[in-house]
Amino acid sequence: MLDLLLSSHTEIESVGELRHLQEYYTNNESCMCGRPITECHFWSSVEGEVSRDSQFVKHNGLKSLQTKIRKGKHRMHQYLPSFIEIFLIFASKKMATKWGKYFPAVRDAMVTAENCIHICEAVSRVSGCPYIVDSSKWAEQFKAVYLLRPDLIKVIYLVRDGRGVACSQLRRSTLDMKKATLFWVLNNVKIMLMKLTVPNEKVLFVRYEDLCRNRRFEIPRILRFIGVMGQADDLRVRKVGGHNVGGSPHRFDRRQEEIILDEGWKERLSKADLAVFQRFGASVNRWLGYVE
Ligand SMILES: [Zn+2]
């Protein structure tokens, strides 16, 4: 939802979760504007812009450009990080260039990152906005594009109380509490480790709960970090005129204009669920500043 809020700023455009773009083309899924993505005028214009780039002249439309880093996971190991995830978390640009010569997975990841950068540049030209928000969420997706263009990329590290995240995973997936907690722990550990390889000024830490409770302080702080001025009080969750892909199902709820604090997990999680979280996730939750 933060991406939709930010995209109501005149200098910011949001693309949703860019890593899903190729899948959207493969399955011709609905863009946020309501049209199938192949009929969306915005993405058609972006496709036209990408084609002008000499590097992509011969590409076969956006459907041919990979936007998601392939993790190469075996079903048995789906909750453990793969080689490419671990590599990208710790890699420098020099390592990516060198290892890319020998490891197809590294080469593949860097080509994907390059595609994402070119698509964002095309989105910027089409929308007229100098700042593009990609809410892809994966640490390795950010790190790969950061390695290619550290001058262009920053990350907003938005966290939420792990009990809230696990609770929403329980509702939306087939995971049990232990797996939902471990999944959340793993994602945050990956981001924390990745932060060690990225300068502090490139990462902004934001708590969802602070954002909801103290919007007047948090939104200007986020805008300053991005590098844009003003309009903080005018920003609303954009429901019309957006062309996001992927992301929360709430993006189709046209009534919600603010990011609203949802602490329903306090009622929904049972004592047994909370005990499981306490065992596997409490230390990471405390690390993120959730002390209760
Ligand atoms: Zn659209």
Domain membership flag for residue 89: yes
The backbone torsions φ and ψ at residue 74, rounded to the nearest 5 degrees and listed phi first, read -85, 145
Q: How many domains are there within the chain?
A: 1
pLDDT one-digit tens code per residue, 143-197: 999 999 999 999 999 999 999 999 998 888 888 999 999 999 999 999 999 999 9
The pair of three-digit structure tokens given for residue 82, joined into one six-digit string: 């793969």
Confidence check: pLDDT of 237 > 90: no
Confidence check: pLDDT of 279 > 60: yes
Instruction: Write the CATH number for 259.
Output: 3.40.50
Domain membership flag for residue 31: yes
Q: Which domain covers residue 115, as residue numbers? A: 2-287
Portion of the chain with pLDDT greater than 90, in percent: 65
Q: Could you tell me the distance, in angstroms and rounded to a whole number, from the CA of residue 47 to the centre of ligand 1?
A: 12
Alpha helices in 13-159 (DSSP H): 21-27, 41-52, 83-90, 93-100, 104-127, 139-148
Q: What average pLDDT does range 61-67 have in this prediction?
A: 89
Q: Counting beta carbons within 10 angstroms of the beta carbon of residue 265, is it exposed (0 to 12), middle (13 to 18) or buried (19 or more)?
A: buried
For 25-42, b/e burial (b = at least 16 CB within 10 A) is beeeeebbbeeebbebeb
Confidence check: pLDDT of 252 > 60: no
Task: Supply the pLDDT for residue 185.
Answer: 94
Q: What average pLDDT does range 87-102 have in this prediction?
A: 92
Q: Could you tell me the distance, in angstroms and rounded to a whole number, from the CA of residue 34 to the centre of ligand 1?
A: 7
Q: Could you tell me the distance, in angstroms and rounded to a whole number, from the CA of residue 285 to the centre of ligand 1?
A: 37
Q: Could you tell me the distance, in angstroms and rounded to a whole number, from the CA of residue 2 to the centre of ligand 1?
A: 19
Domain membership flag for residue 292: no
Q: Could you tell me the distance, in angstroms and rounded to a whole number, from the CA of residue 132 to the centre of ligand 1?
A: 16
| Range of weakest confidence among 49-63, 185-199, 220-234, 237-251 | 237-251
Domain membership flag for residue 6: yes
pLDDT one-digit tens code per residue, 108-118: 999 999 999 99
Give Cα 289 to chain centroid, integer Å: 21
Q: Could you tell me the distance, in angstroms and rounded to a whole number, from the CA of residue 30 to the centre of ligand 1?
A: 8
Portion of the chain with pLDDT greater than 70, in percent: 92
Domain membership flag for residue 205: yes
Q: In the chain, what is the greatest distance between 2 CA atoms, to the nearest angstrom? A: 59
pLDDT one-digit tens code per residue, 24-47: 999 999 998 899 999 999 999 999
Q: Could you tell me the distance, in angstroms and rounded to a whole number, from the CA of residue 168 to the centre of ligand 1?
A: 27
Q: Could you tell me the distance, in angstroms and rounded to a whole number, from the CA of residue 192 to the centre of ligand 1?
A: 34
Q: What is the mean pLDDT of the chain?
A: 88
Q: Could you tell me the distance, in angstroms and rounded to a whole number, from the CA of residue 14 to the centre of ligand 1?
A: 12
Confidence check: pLDDT of 259 > 90: no
Q: Could you tell me the distance, in angstroms and rounded to a whole number, from the CA of residue 15 to the centre of ligand 1?
A: 10
Domain membership flag for residue 149: yes
Confidence check: pLDDT of 251 > 60: no
What distance in Å separates the CA atoms of residue 74 and residue 162, rounded to the nearest whole number?
Answer: 26
Task: Supply the pLDDT for residue 151.
Answer: 93
Domain membership flag for residue 244: yes
Q: Could you tell me the distance, in angstroms and rounded to a whole number, from the CA of residue 158 to the centre of ligand 1?
A: 26
Confidence check: pLDDT of 57 > 70: no
Task: Supply the pLDDT for residue 51.
Answer: 85
The backbone torsions φ and ψ at residue 212, rounded to the nearest 5 degrees and listed phi first, read -75, -40
Confidence check: pLDDT of 257 > 90: no
Confidence check: pLDDT of 74 > 70: no
Domain membership flag for residue 211: yes
